[in-house]
């Protein structure tokens, strides 16, 4: 070491150290600036963007509404979809909007949930990786739907519960107590897994239980930690009950329609999916093996 000091000279050595320190500082600054930039959705020229650009909203293709003094008018428009995925989505949007029309008539409170909520926020429609739709509603509202809503469903939609379909078991601890099933398609889950229940394209109804005081319980039923812990992890300090981050509901766009969503969608999606505005780039678009034109009986 002594040799080197002699060789470089004291002044020169000092200058080099300052230069190196300055360089390190600049690198650190650039790096931290970069990581601080907000993560905008990376859509540019991706498969996802191309898929979404081609998408014509449901409402541009057809209407789905309740006519005064008449029933629900909502034609089946799946044939207008140019891809298998879009055909499936047109079926799903129809299921969702029909549920919405029935809910409106009977004052049934519900909201978009999980992947469908994410799709609404990120794409104003379906998440291109999904081929089902999810909604959530409190137990009391679900019971209202069973009592007054189900009879209003068009003939081509099946209301699936453990009662209406003896082969179907509500998935344990998921909160799904029922599904709306399109009768004219085959999702093919049973063909792959050897089950016997009705298996058309589906809308999942996540039913949220109430506690003794009528408060909603545990909205994120899939994840392991409880909501208090996750609220703390998110940006906690203020602890609130699920009711307070669901209500009052807000309105979001979905495939051309305006549908209800929880007030604190941002917190909910962040808890469920983390950096939810970032579109996974390498994931293939929804893997559809669904037959969108034949029921499972016809496919068999
Ligand atoms: C859908 O309809 C709206 C309103 O009429 C229009 O502004 C929009 O350009 C249409 N979108 C497509 C993709 O056709």
- Per-residue pLDDT of 55-113, as tens digits, reads 899 999 999 999 988 789 999 999 999 989 999 999 999 999 999 999 999 999 999 99
Quick check: 41 pLDDT over 80? no
**Quick check: 93 and 241 in contact, CB under 8 A?**
no
pTM of the model: 0.79
pLDDT category of residue 3 using cuts at 50, 70 and 90: low
pLDDT above 90 for 201: yes
| H or E element in which residue 58 lies | helix 58-61
Tell me: the pLDDT tens digits for 228-240? 544 444 443 344 5
Would you tell me how many other CB atoms lie within 10 Å of the CB of residue 200? 25
Q: What is the CA radius of gyration of the chain?
A: 26
C-alpha 27 to ligand 1 mean position (Å): 47
For position 45, what pLDDT does the model report? 53
- Number of residues that this document lists for the chain: 300
Which span out of 19-23, 74-78, 266-270 was modeled with the highest average pLDDT? 74-78
Cβ atoms of 218 and 241 within 8 Å: the answer is no
pLDDT of residue 53: 65
Q: How far apart are CA 214 and CA 95, in angstroms?
A: 29
CB 142 within 8 A of CB 135: no
DSSP state of 291: B
Q: Which of 60, 82, 125, 256 to mutate to test the pocket of ligand 1 (most atoms within 8 A of CB)?
A: 60
Cα angle, residue 223 at apex, residues 221 and 227 outer, rounded to 5°: 70
Strands 202-208 and 250-254 turn out to be unpaired
Residue with the smallest CA separation from ligand 1 atom 6 is 60
Ligand 1 atom 3: the closest Cα is on which residue? 60
Tell me the CA–centroid distance for residue 60 and ligand 1, in Å: 6
Which string of b and e fits 41-50 if b means at least 16 CB within 10 Å? eeeeeeebee
- pLDDT tens per residue, range 116-136: 999 999 999 999 888 899 999
């Amino acid at each position: 070491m002594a040799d080197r000091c002699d060789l470089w000279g004291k002044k020169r050595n000092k200058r080099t150290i300052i230069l190196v320190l300055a360089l390190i500082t600049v690198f650190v600054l650039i790096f931290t600036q970069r990581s601080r930039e907000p993560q905008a959705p990376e859509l540019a020229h991706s498969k996802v963007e191309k898929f979404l650009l081609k998408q014509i909203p449901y409402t541009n293709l057809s209407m789905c509404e309740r006519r005064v003094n008449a029933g629900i008018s909502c034609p089946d428009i799946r044939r207008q979809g140019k891809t298998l995925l879009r055909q499936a989505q047109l079926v799903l949007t129809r299921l969702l909007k029909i549920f919405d029309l029935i809910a409106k008539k009977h004052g049934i409170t519900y909201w978009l949930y999980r992947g469908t909520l994410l799709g609404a926020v990120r794409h104003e429609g379906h998440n291109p990786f999904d081929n089902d739709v999810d909604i959530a509603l409190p137990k009391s509202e679900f019971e209202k739907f069973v009592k007054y809503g189900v009879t209003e469903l068009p003939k081509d939609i099946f209301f699936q519960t453990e009662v209406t379909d003896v082969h179907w078991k509500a998935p344990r601890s998921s909160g799904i107590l029922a599904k709306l099933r399109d009768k004219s398609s085959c999702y093919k889950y049973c063909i792959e897994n050897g089950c016997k229940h009705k298996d058309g394209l589906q809308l999942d109804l996540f039913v949220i239980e109430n506690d003794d005081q009528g408060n909603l319980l545990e909205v994120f039923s899939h994840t392991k930690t409880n909501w208090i812990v996750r609220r703390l992890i998110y940006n906690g300090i203020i602890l609130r009950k699920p009711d307070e981050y669901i209500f009052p509901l807000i309105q979001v766009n979905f495939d051309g329609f305006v549908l209800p969503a929880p007030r604190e969608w941002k917190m909910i999606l962040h808890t469920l999916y983390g950096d939810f505005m970032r579109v996974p780039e390498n994931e293939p678009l929804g893997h559809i093996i669904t037959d969108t034109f034949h029921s499972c009986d016809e496919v068999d």
